[in-house]
Amino acid sequence: MSDQDTLQRFIFSDSNVRGEIVHLNQSYQTVIHQSDYPEPLQRLMGEAMCAVILLTATLKFSGKLSLQLQGDGILTLLLVQSTHEQEIRGTMQWQGECEDKSFNELLQNARLVITIDPDKGTRYQGIVPLDGDRLNQCLETYFMQSEQLPTRIWLAADDSSAAGMLLQKLPEQESQSDGNQWEHITILAETTTHSELLSLSNETFLYRLFHNESVRLFESQPATFKCTCSRERCEETIISLGSREINDIIRDPGHVAITCEFCSASYFFEADQLQKMSDEAAQKESGQKATD
Ligand SMILES: [Zn+2]
């Protein structure tokens, strides 16, 4: 299928409804094979990754968007981050057996946190308690609370790919009165199945659902796995510990080993490198004192 690892927008020419379809293949595989995640969690990760890509399509500026699920059930943390250019990464933490567990059993007392971090401007955070049976329902609640635009989301994942669709009713212009159109389109979309969403090309998929509507597909954009970790970022983190703590590490154990939880890249710092960072931290600290 030609739509692998893409995000594609479409609009209904006769109404104020827009849509987005995402397919994640290689990027999804890369994320779920970072660790030995149990199968139900792999699927949930696929759905969450698709959700994040669909959410980035609604951003009106450049920046980062993250989705976090936190709970005290089997899945304790799921974190997916993407840029406005659909560069995505994700990680999970879990405990115990997942077999045959439902969404609600995997995520007890959980909440969904969506954070939008514009390159310029203030950070926005929306928190929704998880009360639906599936992730898409929780996201629809999030949209009701934050954007106040009626939004429907479909998400699906199997062991090789993940896919999702978003439909959003845009604010009506005065000349238009398409209240019924939104209802009509979402009723048609309800007839979709997970396997159609996962396996059909976007063109065929949209034709099957909406062949009596006039739908315009835009050019698709790539979605790719990309981790933002680097040696420089690790150094910044170590320096932020402060000279005292770095000196303690130099005494024992004498080195720092960091493994990125998103991409498994590992970074190793020896004592003499740590000494430089300690000096840099000390310099910053004396500078701060001078300005106090
Ligand atoms: Zn990384």
We report the CATH number of the domain holding residue 279 as 3.90.1280.10
Same domain, 221 and 235: no
CA of 86 to the centre of ligand 1 (A): 16
Residue 91 falls inside a structural domain: yes
Indicate whether 99 and 140 sit together in one domain: yes
151 is a domain residue: yes
Q: Report pLDDT digits (tens) over 7-50.
A: 999 999 888 999 999 999 999 999 999 999 999 999 999 999 99
243 shares a domain with 109: no
Q: How far is the CA of 226 from the centre of ligand 1 (A)?
A: 8
Is residue 1's pLDDT more than 70? no
Q: Report percent pLDDT > 70 for the chain.
A: 96
Q: Is residue 45 part of a domain?
A: yes
Residue 57 Cα to ligand 1 midpoint, Å, equals 24
Query: 258 and 119 in one domain?
Result: no
Torsion region of 216: left, alpha or beta (phi above 0 gives left; psi -120 to 50 gives alpha): beta
Give 66 Cα–ligand 1 centroid separation in angstroms.
Answer: 15
Q: 3-state SS of 193-240?
A: CHHHHHHCCHHHHHHHHHCCCCEEECCCEECEECCCCCHHHHHHHHHC
Q: Which domain holds residue 266?
A: 231-291
Q: Are 116 and 258 in the same domain?
A: no
Give the tens place of pLDDT for each residue, 56-105.
Answer: 998 888 999 999 999 888 999 999 999 999 999 999 999 988 888 888 88
Ligand 1 center to 14 CA (angstroms): 44
Residue 267 CA to ligand 1 centre (angstroms): 10
Rounded distance, CA 287 to CA 284, Å? Answer: 5
Provide the 10 A C-beta neighbour count for residue 109: 10
Q: How many domains does the chain have?
A: 2
Last residue of a domain, one of 207, 225, 243: 225
Q: Are residues 176 and 88 in the same domain?
A: yes
Ligand 1 mean position, distance from CA 146 (Å): 30
What pLDDT sits at residue 192?
94
pTM over 0.75, yes/no: yes
From 225, 257, 277, give the residue that closes a domain: 225
Contact 119, 58 (CB under 8 A): no
Residue 262 vs residues 106, 129, 150, 232: alpha-carbon distances, Å: 21, 25, 33, 16
Residues 219 and 251 in one domain: no
Q: Are residues 174 and 73 in the same domain?
A: yes
Q: How far is the CA of 261 from the centre of ligand 1 (A)?
A: 7
Alpha-carbon distance of 20 to 28, in angstroms, equals 18
Neighbours of 16 (CB within 10 A): 18
Residue 284, domain member (yes or no): yes
Output the pLDDT for position 257: 96
Residue 172 is predicted with a pLDDT of 74
Cα–Cα distance for residue pair 136/186, rounded to 1 Å: 14
